[in-house]
Structure formats: C-alpha cells, structure tokens
Chains A and B, each alone.
Chain A
Amino acid sequence: MSALTTVASLVYLISAVCYVIGVHLMRSPKTARRGNGLSAVGMFLAVIMIVITIIAEGKITGTGWVVLILGLALGVWYGVARARKVPMTDVPQLVSLFNAVGGGAAAVIGIFDYAVKAGGTHLNVAFSLPVLLDVIIGGITFSGSLIATGKLSGHVPGKPITFPGARLVNVLVVIAILVAAWLMIGLPTNVWFMVLGLIASLVFGLLMTLPIGGADMPVVVSLLNAFTGLAVAFAGFVIDNQVLIIAGALVGAAGTILTLQMADAMNRSVANILAGGFGTGDSNSSSAADETPVNVKETSADDIGLQLAYANNVMIVPGYGLAAAQAQHEVAELAKLLTDNGINVNYAIHPVAGRMPGHMNVLLADVNVPYDQMKQMEEANSMFENTDVSLVIGANDVTNPLARESGNAISGMPILDVDKSKSVVVIKRSMSTGYAGVQNPLFSMDNTQMFFSDAKKGLADIIASTKEYINQ
C-alpha cells in the first residue's frame, strides 16, 4: 500500500464507523438527530478523502473536473432545495425520489466500468458479476422508485394498475434479464449486452411497482431503499472501494429489517404486498358503496364542540385521512384551545397512522404538538377507559374492533381500543370502508357519533363551535 491508499483506507474505515454508530443512535428519539449528524460527518470525511485521492492521482482531465463539479453542484442545489421546501406530508415521495437517484447513480457506475472495459475481452467473473448485479438492481430501483414517487404524489394513479397478460410480460422480462446476465458473464464484453440488461431491469422496476396499491407504497419504498443499498455495495465491488461496500450492505440489511417491521405493523407480508392488486390504495377513491346499510348516528360540529368543551379527557386519534387533508394545523389548534382551558388532550398514534410508520409523529411535531402528548399504541390503549371523548379523524381500519375477531382481512392487526372510551366522535368523509375493505362496526356503536366532513373543514367548524361554548 502506498501512503495515500493507507490513509484513504483508514479514513474510509472511520467514515464507515460513523454510519454504524449513526444508525445506532437513530434508534432513540433523544439521540436520533445526533446520529444523523454523525453519519453526515462520516459522509463528509469520505468525500474529502476521495477529492484528495483523485487530485493526488492526477488522472482526471479538465473536462472531467467540469462535468464532476457541474453535476455535483446541480445535484446539491436541487436536493437541498427540495428537502428544505417539502411539506412534511410529502416526505415519503421525496425519500422515494432520493432513493431513485441513488439507485440510478449506482447503475451509472456499473455501466461506466463495463463500458470502459468493453473491448471484446473476456472479463473475469469476479468483475462481471458485481457489474451485472449493480446495473440490474440499480435499474430496478431507479424505475421502481420513480413510479412509487409518482403514486405517492398522485402523478401516477394510486390504484393497482394491471393489464391482461401482465404475468406473461413479467416472465419475458425476467428471461431478458437472465439472458443479459448470461451474455455479460459468459461472453466477451459487448456494450449491447449491458444495454439489454439495463432496459430489461428498468421495465421490471415499472412492472413490479405499478400493480401495487398506493397505501402499500411506503413498504415498497423501504424495500427499494434496501435494494439501492445493495446496488451501491456492488458498485463498491466494481470500483474496489470498501466504504461503498460497507455503507451499501449496512443500508441493505437495515432497510430489509425496516421493511419487515413496516409490513408487520400493517399486518401484511412483504410477499403479499409485492403480489399487488390489494386495496384501492387511496382513501380518496370512493370505493365500495356500502351494500349493508348500517345504523349510524350523525352529529354536527356544534354538538361536538359542546361535548369537547365539557370533557375532562380528550383523545385525538389521527389517521390517514388527516394526513391526506393536511389538517394537522387545525388539529393542533383545536388541541391547544382545549388544553388552554384545562382539558387534558392526548393523541393516540397507531404505528401505521399516516402515510408510513412514524409519519404521523412527524406531521404533528411539525405543528408543534408536544412530544409527551403523542401516545404510542400500548400507552394510549391503557388510557381509553378514562377518556370522555375520542375524536377519530380520518382513521378507520386501525380502530376497527373486528380485528380482535378471526376470519376477516384485518384479523390480528393491533388496533387502538377507541370503542372503550365513553364517547366516540368520528370525522370521516363518507361511510366508505378503509383500505382493507372491511366494514367498521365502531361506526354503528351506541356511543359513536359520525360527523361526515373533510377533516380540514370539519375541524375548522368544530374549533369555531368549541370556542363559543368555552367562552360562555
């Protein structure tokens, strides 16, 4: 080892340690931000080191510098601008977009190295196999994540998209990928082999993501995140750089665990989600006109205001509908109004409330809801018996008591025991079923009242009426 490569290896090692400790610190809310900061420090060290390395090696051309700096500057500008401006409700699609470009970058490295060496020589499998995996996984995650971004942001319809013969096309695409793989490993280099593999994997990414409903997208984004990690690790094999291998494998493994936990919280298996076609994907789509007329009591904003003003303990149960209507400001305003008048307000947060696990906490934190008012499921469930009014806003399946019984789509899913509180008010746009397509008996219970409204508008009305009663 020359002095430079020795120093470089050590610096990369330090930066890898920063990522591992950073991820470790991110497991607790108190240290999470420091963890992310530490991981950023590791990234900074790695970048400084590679800059020193390429300057010292002196191989880079003037044009090389120009395209490098231009690409980096535009990328940093675009990435930071998007990250700073994004409303917290839109974070999932932005993460997915960042994931897409990460996979794209990994694929580009594989393409570059194969093209550089493609001179009709027969490559060693130790080189061609990582290139192949890098390009194919990178390609799948690039196109797949872009579709996921589109579905989450509404540019691509959220409902599962299937077409006749989809299975046959899938099989053909997989065959094309395998053929490309065999050509790249078995024959002397030819750029067209790689182009075939790249195109087939891009198509595969599309076909894999399109049939999956919008509400399952977070799990898919997390899975593709793990894929990108692996693609980056294989890119590390290609250019023989250990920091890429370590960080990529770390993300690949961590992302896989996270994906399993997310799927678990939604009571779905990853295989089931990938099979696609489940659910309407979006609460906006007016699915399932309910065939069974259920006996529900409707109420008004005025009546809800009265109930809240005279309650002692109020539990707010926010769900996907609240996130979709972007009503978190109104919720926080109502809670503050009640708290200022001596009413005890808490939030019961189901692990999968919002667009992805933990997303609701982020949305509420964004509007300055105190952290200690956000109760996780177990704690919230111990509080419902002493709750006077549970205000369910745009949540459905996570409150469905049918989950305690067997033989339906949501059996066994952990739920919030909203039905145990003294009175339940549900703010919902219609009687349509939730994502799982199961009727919710909570809505027709004796102590439940329904308020049919958009979360944002409904809450504004409730705030107005609550103010009147409190000021009396």
Chain B
Amino acid sequence: MSQELYTNLAIFVMSLLVGFEVMSKIPSTLQTPMMSGANAIHGVVVVGAFVIAAEANSWIFYILAFLGAFFAAVNVAGGYTVTDRMLGMFNRPKKSASKEDENK
C-alpha cells in the first residue's frame, strides 16, 4: 500500500469515527435542519469540480466539468441557504415581517 493511500484511508476512517461521535443524540426538533446541514457539507464536492475543470482539455471533458460544477454549486449554495432559512425561523424576533418578505 502506498503512503498516500494509507494516509487517505486513515483520514477516512478517523473522520467516520468523528462523524459517529459528534452526532450521538439529536433532538428530533433539529433532525430536519441537521439533515439539510449535512447535505450542504457534502457540497464540498465543489472543490472536486474545480480540480477536474482545471484538467479538462477536450469537449467531452468540458461537458463533464460543466456538469460537475453546476451540480456541486446547486448542492452547496442551495444547501446552506435552505438550512439557514430553516434555522432562522427558530429564534427570530416576533415582528420580522420585513425579513420574511425578503425571503420570498
């Protein structure tokens, strides 16, 4: 096994353990926002979209790079926005009509 693969594998396994640990018990109130928040975090795949776009050099690869960038951007931008909107509803001041309009 190469050093590089070993390092990546170790990081992978440790991150899984951290994920299990940090998630232990979630109040049901927060399960939907949490799912959405986790969904936004895997939007980090957008970094991968940059990496492949930098390597693209023919039309088929440009199409793939475009698709990757588009998909990942929807995931990351939409994911954080909708999570923030949901969480913002839990503790906003009572009279926030103007803010609500802004969201619409």
The interface of chain A, by Cβ under 8 A from chain B, is: 15-16, 19-20, 22-24, 26-30, 32-33, 35-37, 39-40, 43, 46-47, 50-51, 54, 57, 59-61, 63-65, 67-68, 70-76, 78-80, 82-86, 88, 91-92, 94-95, 97-99, 101-102, 104-106, 108-109, 111-113, 115-116, 126, 221-222, 225, 228-229, 232-233, 235-237, 239-258, 261-262, 265, 349, 351-352, 356-359, 361-362, 365-366, 368, 370-371, 374, 376
Contacts and interface: CB of A to CB of B under 8 A. Distances in A.
Contact of B40 (A39, A105, A376): A39
Interface in B37-91: 37-57, 60-91
Contacts of B81: 79-80, 83-84
Interface residues of B, number: 85
10 contacts: A28-B27, A39-B80, A50-B50, A105-B68, A108-B52, A109-B48, A225-B42, A243-B44, A244-B48, A250-B18
Given A32-B90, A253-B17, 7 more contacts: A28-B27, A39-B37, A39-B40, A64-B54, A243-B44, A362-B32, A365-B90
A232 B53 CA distance: 17
Contacts, number: 395
Given A29-B30, A86-B82, A244-B48, A67 B69 contact: yes
A30 B11 contact: no
A25 B97 CA distance: 28
A82 B78 contact: yes
A351 to B, nearest CB: 4
Contacts of A72: 46, 49, 69-70, 73
A237 B32 contact: no
B98 interface: no
Given A29-B29, A37-B84, A358-B29, A75 B77 contact: yes
B19 A64 contact: no
A64 B53 contact: yes
Interface in B1-33: 1-2, 4-5, 8, 11-13, 15-20, 22-33
Query: Chain A CB within 10 Å — which of B31, B41, B56, B103 has the most?
Result: B41
Given A29-B91, A84-B103, A356-B32, A50 B41 contact: no
Nearest to A351: B28
Nearest to B57: A61
Contacts of A358: 27-34
Contacts of B40: 36, 39-40, 43, 98
Contact of A76 (B68, B73, B82): B73
Contacts of A19: 41, 44
Contacts of B44: 15, 19, 43, 46, 232, 243-244, 247-248
B100 to A, nearest CB: 9
Contact of B28 (A33, A51, A67, A376): A376
Contacts of A247: 15, 41-42, 44
Give 10 nearest A-B pairs by CB, closest first.
A75-B73, A253-B19, A79-B78, A71-B69, A249-B15, A351-B28, A83-B81, A105-B71, A365-B89, A357-B31
Contacts of B12: 233, 237, 245, 249
B28 A79 contact: no
Contact of A91 (B22, B69, B82): B82
Contacts of B54: 54, 57, 59-60, 64
A83 B50 contact: no
A362 B89 contact: yes
A47 B28 contact: no
